[in-house]
Amino acid sequence: MTRALFSSLPLSFPQLAALDGLGYAEMTPVQAQSLPAILARKDVIIQAKTGSGKTAAFAIGLLNHLNPRHFGVQAMVMCPTRELAEQVGDAIRQLASRMPNIKVVMLCGGKPFGPQRESLDHGTHVVVGTPGRIQDHLQRRTLDLTGLTTFVLDEADRMLDMGFADVMASITNCLPDARQTLLLSATFPGDIKKISRSIQREPVLIKAETAFSQDEVTLEQLFFEIQKHERETALIALFEHYQPQNAMVFCNTKKQCDDVARLLQAQDIEAAAIHGDLEQRQRDQVLLQFANDSCPVLIASDVAARGLDIPALEMVVNFELPRDADTYVHRIGRTGRAGQSGKAFSLVTPAEAPRMRVIEDHLNITGICDQLASLDRDPNYGLRGAMATVQIDAGRKQKIRPGDVLGALTGDAGLNADAIGKINIADNVSHVAVTRTALRQAMSYLSQGKVKGRAIRARHVGSTVPPSHPRQRDAKRRRS
């Protein structure tokens, strides 16, 4: 079967050159279906699961429509969470990196208002942000949308789940009538249809399959029947049997996230929790460490994990079954992506049996139940990230680039290039992942050396999980 190529699209030369330079060649099915309509400036609804390539689809479209010589907001993407907004912003910046003079500004809560206002005052082409902060800028008249031509509502169903319906309506009322509106939603309930009717004109519906079938051999799904008091023991058994290199564990409450993170830490499994009660700085650090392989296990609530882009996740565990089938699909959709193998396990108590039947009916599957007794376990199993994260107190506003950090560590610091992992540059801070064996050498240099000719401060960013209970640690020692 012939695969659709980006070169077949009516893209401008700078956009085609940028895609070619970034290694983009073949389109995903969602991109092949949606981009012709997006490039034709039609309103579009995209319904697709995580990892389908829909972010690149709308990013390529909105960038292609921009006039680089006009420094006014021409496109705006609204996301439910800051984490998703930052991922979308990074994707747009990457796609625009080889196009001249394209400026992207992030408008998210948890960041100072003043620098955002100043960035808008200096002119920008694309705004990416969260509903609350976008509304704040509109109310204070620091965000001018009169020249907007493209509006993207990303993860619209999650915004409704988070209670943003009124804020969304307030923002869309401020948009010019003559615009293109792209609406992305993993599910398409009645409320989303109502929103579409109010903000779109004759939209083209692009629908990709959201359910998983038993024929998808890349994803192994198992349900483990347990009693309520066995939940913690069952989770440890899954790790000690399957021994993944990384994993996500989904919980239904914030307290449950913290408790599970402490439980795994007590078993020498490095884990961190992310949920809405954490400060934004803590959430950013947890996600950063998980993404750069400094912390291999993430314990997450559904809202906190929505929109995370994790290309190679070995195992997902439902510590407790979610209350609806769509949430289950979102959770397990984070493993077994892009043709890679993955495992999705769920712990099911007798009280959760009705939830399991709803999931089976929704996905048209018959859940395969297994027993914990069938798992061979290694009581000496432990898991730590291969990397460690170092924070540097200089970033984009200090003109620091990834190459500057890489050059300092591989030059004067004497590290091998293969000892350095992901480098993330933010406005006033940078993070670099180094192998644990190279951490001492990296910190020794950074504590006395320089990056781009300037002295900097650096520190090792460790786990944010509170210490585990002594009785849990003692239990681990006895078992090993």
* Record: fold of 387-461: Alpha-Beta Plaits (3.30.70)
- At residue 310, the pLDDT reads 67
User: Strands, E, within 53-145: which ranges?
Assistant: 75-78, 104-107, 126-129
Running DSSP on this structure, what letter comes out for residue 2?
P
Query: Residue 477 — very low, low, confident or very high, per pLDDT cuts 50/70/90?
Result: very low
- Residue in this structure with the two tokens 């001249």, named with its chain if needed: 100
What rounded mean pLDDT belongs to the chain? 85
Q: Which of 326, 324, 433 is nearest to 388 (CA)?
A: 433
- At residue 463, the pLDDT reads 59
- Residue in this structure with the two tokens 């809202």, named with its chain if needed: 303
Query: Residue 98 — very low, low, confident or very high, per pLDDT cuts 50/70/90?
Result: confident
Quickly count: other Cβ atoms within 10 Å of residue 479's Cβ.
Answer: 12
Provide the token pair at 400: 């620091």
pTM for the full predicted model: 0.65
- At residue 417, the pLDDT reads 86
Q: What is the pLDDT of residues 418-476, one digit of tens each?
A: 899 989 888 889 999 999 999 999 999 988 888 888 888 999 987 554 444 443 444 44
Q: What is the pLDDT of residues 318-342, one digit of tens each?
A: 999 998 888 888 888 777 665 567 8
- At residue 117, the pLDDT reads 95
Spell out the CATH class of 219-374: alpha beta
Q: What is the pLDDT of residues 420-434, one digit of tens each?
A: 998 988 888 999 999
Mean pLDDT within 157-167? 81
- Buried b / exposed e over 328-345, threshold 16 CB at 10 Å, is bbbbbbbbbbeeeebbbb
Quickly count: other Cβ atoms within 10 Å of residue 437's Cβ.
Answer: 10
Delimiting residues of CATH 3.30.70.330 domain(s) in the chain:
387-461
Mean pLDDT within 384-389? 94
Contact 104, 89 (CB under 8 A): yes
pLDDT at 3 over 70: no
Residue 470 burial (C-beta neighbours within 10 Å; 0-12, 13-18, 19+): exposed
Delimiting residues of CATH 3.40.50.300 domain(s) in the chain:
6-207, 219-374
Element (H, E) at 151: strand 150-153
> Helix or strand or coil: residue 163?
coil
Q: Which of 248, 332, 259, 335 is nearest to 287 (CA)?
A: 248
Residue 25 burial (C-beta neighbours within 10 Å; 0-12, 13-18, 19+): exposed
Beta strand 204-207 with 315-318 is unpaired
Quickly count: other Cβ atoms within 10 Å of residue 229's Cβ.
Answer: 8
C-alpha 296/C-alpha 112 separation (Å) is: 31
pLDDT at 295 over 50: yes
DSSP codes joined into one string, 110-134: TS-HHHHHHHHHT--SEEEE-HHHH
Provide the token pair at 460: 């090792």
Mean pLDDT within 94-112? 87
- At residue 470, the pLDDT reads 41
- At residue 467, the pLDDT reads 45
Dihedral sign computed on CA atoms, order 315, 320, 322, 325:
positive
Query: Residue 385 — very low, low, confident or very high, per pLDDT cuts 50/70/90?
Result: very high
CATH of 6-207, one of 3.40.50.150, 1.10.10.10, 3.40.50.300, 2.120.10.70: 3.40.50.300
Mean pLDDT within 390-419? 90
